[in-house]
Amino acid sequence: MAYYIARRLLLAVPTVLGVCLFTFLLFNIFASPEAIARKQLGKNPTAAQVQTWISSHGMDKPMFFNFERGRDHALHPFDSRFWNHMKELVLFQFPESDYLHEKVSSLLKEKIVPSLTITVPAFLLSILITLPLALFIAYYRGTYLDRTALFVCVILMSIVVLNYIIFGQYFLGIVLKYFPVYGYEFGLGAWRFVLLPIIIAVASGLGGGLRFYRTVMLNEVRADYVRTAMAKGVSEEMILFKHVLKNAMIPILTVTVLSIPFLITGSLLLEMYFGIPGMGNMMLNAISNHDYPVIRVLVYVYSLLYIAGSILTDISYTLVDPRITFK
């Protein structure tokens, strides 16, 4: 397993490098340093202010390689914008936000907790609700219950997430006054503000999750080993809950485990409409305020999370299927 993980990590290096290169090119080719500086400095900055901002951010250096001699009369070819950018990311020495004027690493520590207070409970509740329901529906496959559940799933999937948010805020928050509709409070008081977003997150994903799990279960129900077990007189409950569920875990783990690292990234829409100061809200504010250091760091962190999720998914396969090895 150690060899497999090491090999996957080595293969991830060019992937991360490609993501960083692509992000770097987007911010340095399609927008000049002068244009970026003027956006950050506000209205009508002077030429001296623009030049000072460019120099302080190291954007006066060559893009990839520097063949100019420094003050020590020596060549420093890697003293360029791209390699300095890569050094900051690899060593996790993140730059300062241009808009908030704080270290991005400090912002990440501050924003990650509000995001996790929404995503982790919503993630666990979704699994605890959709998986047993899918087994129950698969048990009554082909009946009116199965057709009705499928019809309801299609309706739930057809509703845009924004409609769930508006409905929940208006009826549960404004009309019935069960929950606050905006704001956040750090500490134990946060549960009052995140409970409604959690309910909306679970409800909006219920249709898609239930239909996916139902399809996975039905694919296993039609397998040859199920017919063999039924011919031997094994009860349908034993087949469904012991054998079918276990053999259906590969696609379930693929979706579930791959989603775990992205719990950190937060939910952009929920955090925006409910005023939750999380990672999703942070990304949205960075985009609207042209806060390029924050965007570059978040893209880098998201790529690392995706790679970590892929490796965790592969490792989890061996826990449910002993036929899968890393050789």
Average pLDDT over residues 108-115: 89
The pLDDT value recorded for residue 103 is 87
Q: How confident is the model at residue 296 (pLDDT cuts 50, 70, 90)?
A: confident
Residue 138 has pLDDT above 90, yes or no: no
Tell whether the model's pLDDT for residue 73 goes beyond 60. Answer: no
Q: Rounded to the nearest 10 degrees, what angle do helices 2-29 and 81-90 cross at?
A: 140
Q: Where are the domains of the chain?
A: 31-67+76-93, 115-320
Residues 6+ apart with CB under 8 A from 174: 181
pLDDT of residue 324: 66
Please give the single-letter amino acid code of residue 273: Y
Q: What span, in angstroms and rounded, lies between the C-alpha atoms of 115 and 277? A: 8
Amino acid at 88: E
pLDDT score, position 284:
86
Is pLDDT at 125 greater than 90 in this prediction?
yes
Backbone φ and ψ of 175, nearest 5°: -75, -55
Q: What does residue 103 show for φ and ψ, rounded to 5 degrees?
A: -65, 135
154-164: buried (b, 16+ CB within 10 Å) or exposed (e) per residue?
Answer: eebeeeebeeb
Question: Which DSSP symbol is given to 91?
Answer: T
Residue 322 has what pLDDT? 66
Give the pair of three-digit tokens for residue 261.
């690292």
Tens digit of pLDDT for each residue in 32-54? 777 777 777 777 778 888 888 77
* CB-based contact 196:168 (threshold 8 Å): yes
- Span 5-26, pLDDT tens digits: 788 788 888 888 888 888 888 8
Distance CA 286, CA 319 (A): 40
Highest mean pLDDT among 108-117, 237-246, 259-268: 108-117
Residues whose CB is less than 8 angstroms from the CB of residue 291 and which lie 6 or more positions away in sequence, other chains included: 97, 98, 99, 100, 285
| Higher per-residue confidence, 171 vs 324 | 171
What does residue 75 show for φ and ψ, rounded to 5 degrees?
A: -85, 135
Least confident of 54-58, 187-191, 321-325: 321-325
How large is the average pLDDT for residues 298-302?
A: 88
Alpha helices in the chain (DSSP H): 2-29, 33-41, 47-56, 81-90, 104-139, 144-158, 161-167, 191-221, 224-231, 236-238, 245-247, 249-259, 268-274, 279-288, 292-320
Judged against a pLDDT cut of 70, whether residue 229 lies above it is answered with: yes
pLDDT at 321 over 70: no
Above 70 in pLDDT, residue 277? yes
pLDDT for res 189: 81
**Residues, the chain:** 327
Residue 226 has which token pair?
Answer: 């199920």
* Averaged pLDDT for residues 145-164: 89
What is the structure's pLDDT at 286?
Answer: 86
CA-nearest of 217, 297, 305 to 261 is 305
Mean of pLDDT values over 251-263:
80
In this predicted model, which residue has the larger pLDDT, 176 or 249?
176
Residue range 115-320, CATH number:
1.10.3720.10
Residue 26 has a pLDDT of: 81
- Spatial separation of the C-alpha atoms in residues 298 and 303, rounded to whole Å: 9
Q: What is the mean pLDDT of the chain?
A: 82
Q: Is 69 helix (H, G, I), strand (E, B) or coil?
A: strand
- C-alpha 260/C-alpha 256 separation (Å) is 7
Dist CA 200 CA 179 (whole Å): 12
Task: Output 79 or 216, whichever has higher pLDDT.
Answer: 216
Task: Read off the pLDDT of residues 161-218 as tens digits, 9 standing for 90 and up.
Answer: 888 999 899 998 888 888 888 888 887 888 889 999 999 999 988 998 898 888 888 8
pLDDT band at residue 72, thresholds of 50, 70 and 90?
A: low
- CA–CA gap between residue 24 and residue 152 (Å, rounded): 45
Q: Is 130 helix (H, G, I), strand (E, B) or coil?
A: helix
